[in-house]
Structure 1
């Protein structure tokens, strides 16, 4: 299969998409990557919607989306637009449509762009499995096309742009029955609508493939681009987003893993970060992700290109159709790289977290709290929380006491030799040290590598060493593609050693470190690359110990957060919570915080928190439990995609959600230590 989905895997090149006019602010082509968000105020509240829109524009939004669940809201978009223009605000408005074609057809005459979801625009989702013959399937597609055609014609007449926005959680029963709950199903859902647009010579179209599962989301966008090229369709602009990313740090990490991975490959023309927070909080996060690529091409060092086995051309159009490079991964489906097991690294083990404590001048029992290992003086023992690091790198200063069970120590090779080659310490060697080392640990040796150091001799030595684990790093601005290129070198040379991904971030704010690390490491994990992670900040002058411990705590939590967002290690409760909009039937931020407070100790449980039925059982897709607004003060509780309790009063809903978990044996009471932990 043709694996090409982006301009280059080793050089930063932005995909050149078709330019689409949206009001007086075009998207795609050579225009900057745009920022957008969505209002949360009831659309019938004209002044509230206007005031919130103005705050969003002030925060950096270049497009503002407003929900129009029925004709009356679509009509009121005109009043909102009039008031905004009266106040001198010309931001393009986007109507968000789900189940109501008549609302879409009205809104298309008013706003600059409409968003339709092909999964529920004239289609249906009742979680029914339907057996289709080819002819019955084709008949159903034609019925939907005829229902969609009037909107296309109105948009063409009024110069209104359209986003065909597929959501993983709202694929129709028809698509699910034929393609399953897959990226291919998402892509085909959009292409059915897009083909009609092209038949009508309507090209002002933007496409999106959103999911709360970052693996599915990235695979779907890549496959979409590949399919557009394969079918000879226009290179339409892409709207990037992770649905129901959540709130606070988790929401930002998850968004960066999905969106950042695609931006790294030059995909994306507009970004929306979906946080369960005020919409004006979303734009700065989107802008921070986008700004990283403003000068990427100039700042990046060249990366050794992939070898090309053969090329095939369309001789009529003089275009490259297939570039059979040595790309040893499937970019459209998750497969974890096969590695040998070394101690508890690689093989079937979850990716491990290594924390660099080498800058600490001294280490005490209480300091290990920063890496998730809590010491109780009363019990005189350690307790590991769900974010307990697996390895500590202490460099030249080994920890002066016995570490808690489950935590292993890594030291520099020279320190290991000087200490008498202790069996409870694992050495880390440079490639030069490794090439000539006369003594090695019998179980586990870490070897620092870069793309340049992976010479044929080094690859052979690693391949033959059943104790070697690679720590792979780069200082290239185009970091993720260079590390990915190094993984390709390992794969193409059948080197099965586990790999720890190392990233160091100089002179960045904690917020930038969070977004950049989630992109760099998360993008690799989504491709099945990486058996662990170690993050560090720049080597600053000596800082107070408390500052270092705070930084270590942040980096440790960030490491686990990235692994969870990439769906490679579930270490805490996951909340799939929508960002709210005018359809929301309760206070999402307050409710999410309340549910989190009661349930955040449930390791690996996924809870969907949805403001309305539009973002209900479908949108939360693979959640274990769902909390969905179905009316004013009324909540429906779900087990997976099955509704278990309907119309539960809001004041009792969290208790009944917990009771449902208890019935399933998924509930655990919070454990309390007998005495507060030191530190």
Structure 2
């Protein structure tokens, strides 16, 4: 199986795509990765659209997308463009099209780029399973091609670029019937349109594979690149985005997990971060993700290379095993196009079928008191003299050289440095953390669970052999390489190829970064590994100046603990809270998305693991919610449709009653839990 989807898995190299001209600002090729966003004002509001576009450009948007749901909106794009040019703004405009080929054909004569969604441009989406023969399927494809051909010819004539943007949630019934709800179906949906473009000698095309599920999104982009190469098609630029990422911290984490994972491997020519916030809030997040790679190639330390093809049985040779590391790995030991969690033995509550665990790093605190454990999600009540664990309660506390001087609450275990463990009398309730040197020389270890902190360079044959035979060892993998995620992934490859199946906790440390940088970088580095099924836990660390007050340390530790759980949720590996799949709003939106999302969150954020889709219109309705459990979709002014999965249950519910009826639907399904009012714990 050809697993090649990027220039290198170990060296930072951007995929060299075809350059596409979009107005005066080309994309792809050797150009920088571009930033874009989408207006939320009604397209018929010319001045409102212009003012918002100007704010977006000021915030860093290099392309601005505007919805054109019908011919009248497409026509008004001309007025918007005229007013922008009058004000000296030459930002390229992109028309967003769903369901209306005639609007696309008009818009293509006006703006610099049109975006079409193959799933609903000329195809059908009624959630019907249709049995196609090869002949009937081919006939349906030909019908769609003929409907699409005029747009291609117009774009070619007017020099207009096009994005063929597949969305996971809006695959047509035809694609779903043949390929299922899969990354392959997403890719094939785009390729059907792309093949016609090439037949017409039209190459100003950008491609995207968006999904709200980060696993599906990353797999689809990788598979798209592999299929383009396999079919000998042009290396078209990629537009990266996670649909319906949500708002605030959750939306940023989810976006970084999906987009950052692809940027790490050099994929992507333009980025849009889809937040349920004002569009001018999106560009700075996209820019922060992109800017991390400006100097990555020169900052990165070399990593032992990986081959995408098997080599001649080097893995079993005595010569290979006697070396520190082979010059080239045997093969990529994972499937980059399908999620499989790395198989490990169970050690304590780590590995095997256990959810990934969260470790919080208290090692730099000068002392630890009962109330301090709030930063690890364990809340102490002095009045009741007991702890209560929140949904974001960490599993392990790393205290370094200073063990906690009191008994920890149930559900929280302690890791201490090996020397401190020995000094404390090898206490059974403490688990030691050893360096590779300590691990190799230790004659005394914990009988059940020992942690070994390693880097790629320290995974020598002797250490690997020792780990392979040790059923008490859990690895903590870390790196100080600027190219961090690929180096840790390379270490995982070494474990897989050498059949070392100990659980692994991923450690990333972020000294002296802003809170947003830490959030985005950690989500990228840890999330990218989790999406490939690599990792049984996460440990995030930071550094503050020694003179910082303890309260500031605790606030930072609390943020890192929440961030750890947020990354696990965004990567779909541990669900610890309600997930909101909310669209970023646009001119089609039929209610205030930010206000409505906040209202629904306030009523439902105690429903651990429930996924609720909040969509502003039917375009971003049942399909775009994809794997949501329940949906809240605008269908008219003041009217809401409620969904169970992708099935509409209640139509045209008045907006003022819609949240109550959504809760009633959950109650009917036995999934509603009344919120519990908990006394606010206080410190000692």
Q: TM-score, normalized by length of structure 1?
A: 0.97
Structure 1: gaps spanning 5 or more residues: 313-322
Match of 1:673 in 2: 678
In the TM superposition, 1:255-274 aligns within 5 A as 255-274=255-274
C-alpha distance after superposition, 1:633-662 (max 9, x if no partner): 000000100111111100111111111111
Give 1:364 shift: 1.1
Match of 1:150 in 2: 150
Match of 2:542 in 1: 537
Work out the CA distance in 2 between the residues paired with 1:221 and 1:186: 9
Work out the CA distance in 1 between the residues paired with 2:348 and 2:309: 37
Instruction: Quickly say closer, same or farther: Cα 1:462–1:251, change in 2 above 3 A.
Output: same
C-alpha distance after superposition, 1:162-207 (max 9, x if no partner): 0000000000000000000000000000000000000000000000
Match of 2:52 in 1: 52
Give 1:539 shift: 5.5
Count matched residues: 669
Match of 1:118 in 2: 118
Match of 2:32 in 1: 32
Work out the CA distance in 1 between the residues paired with 2:682 and 2:537: 28
Match of 1:4 in 2: 4
In the TM superposition, 1:74-223 aligns within 5 A as 74-223=74-223
Work out the CA distance in 1 between the residues paired with 2:573 and 2:613: 19
In the TM superposition, 1:10-21 aligns within 5 A as 10-21=10-21
Determine if contact 1:39/1:581 at 8 Å carries over to the other structure.
Answer: yes
Determine if contact 2:214/2:570 at 8 Å carries over to the other structure.
Answer: yes
Match of 1:387 in 2: 392
Instruction: Quickly say closer, same or farther: Cα 1:52–1:325, change in 2 above 3 A.
Output: farther
Work out the CA distance in 1 between the residues paired with 2:307 and 2:76: 57
Instruction: Quickly say closer, same or farther: Cα 1:415–1:676, change in 2 above 3 A.
Output: closer
Work out the CA distance in 2 between the residues paired with 1:630 and 1:678: 49
Determine if contact 1:378/1:675 at 8 Å carries over to the other structure.
Answer: no
Determine if contact 2:359/2:398 at 8 Å carries over to the other structure.
Answer: yes
Work out the CA distance in 2 between the residues paired with 1:340 and 1:109: 60
Matched, 1:658 2:663: yes
Work out the CA distance in 1 between the residues paired with 2:387 and 2:562: 18
Instruction: Quickly say closer, same or farther: Cα 1:628–1:454, change in 2 above 3 A.
Output: same
C-alpha distance after superposition, 1:408-427 (max 9, x if no partner): 00000000000110000000
Match of 1:497 in 2: 502
Q: TM-score, normalized by length of structure 2?
A: 0.97
SS at match of 1:618: helix
Work out the CA distance in 2 between the residues paired with 1:144 and 1:674: 60
Match of 1:483 in 2: 488
Give 1:611 shift: 0.1
In the TM superposition, 1:146-545 aligns within 5 A as 146-306=146-306, 326-538=331-543, 540-545=545-550
Work out the CA distance in 2 between the residues paired with 1:590 and 1:671: 24
SS at match of 1:120: helix
Instruction: Quickly say closer, same or farther: Cα 1:214–1:230, change in 2 above 3 A.
Output: same
Determine if contact 2:59/2:283 at 8 Å carries over to the other structure.
Answer: yes
Match of 1:317 in 2: none
SS at match of 1:536: strand
Matched, 1:580 2:585: yes
SS at match of 1:119: helix
Work out the CA distance in 2 between the residues paired with 1:477 and 1:151: 44
Give 1:377 shift: 2.1
Give 1:674 shift: 4.4
C-alpha distance after superposition, 1:430-471 (max 9, x if no partner): 000000001000000000100000000010000000000000
Work out the CA distance in 1 between the residues paired with 2:562 and 2:246: 16
In the TM superposition, 1:589-668 aligns within 5 A as 589-668=594-673
Structure 2: gaps spanning 5 or more residues: 313-327
SS at match of 1:528: coil
Determine if contact 1:309/1:324 at 8 Å carries over to the other structure.
Answer: no
Give 1:669 shift: 1.3
SS at match of 2:388: strand
C-alpha distance after superposition, 1:186-231 (max 9, x if no partner): 0000000000000000000000000000000000000000000000
Work out the CA distance in 2 between the residues paired with 1:420 and 1:383: 29
Work out the CA distance in 2 between the residues paired with 1:324 and 1:395: 35
Match of 1:319 in 2: none
C-alpha distance after superposition, 1:25-82 (max 9, x if no partner): 0000000000000000000000000000000000000000000000000000000000
SS at match of 1:518: helix
Work out the CA distance in 1 between the residues paired with 2:330 and 2:598: 48
Work out the CA distance in 1 between the residues paired with 2:353 and 2:477: 20
Match of 2:64 in 1: 64
Instruction: Quickly say closer, same or farther: Cα 1:672–1:678, change in 2 above 3 A.
Output: farther
Give 1:614 shift: 0.1
Work out the CA distance in 1 between the residues paired with 2:674 and 2:487: 45
Work out the CA distance in 2 between the residues paired with 1:227 and 1:131: 25
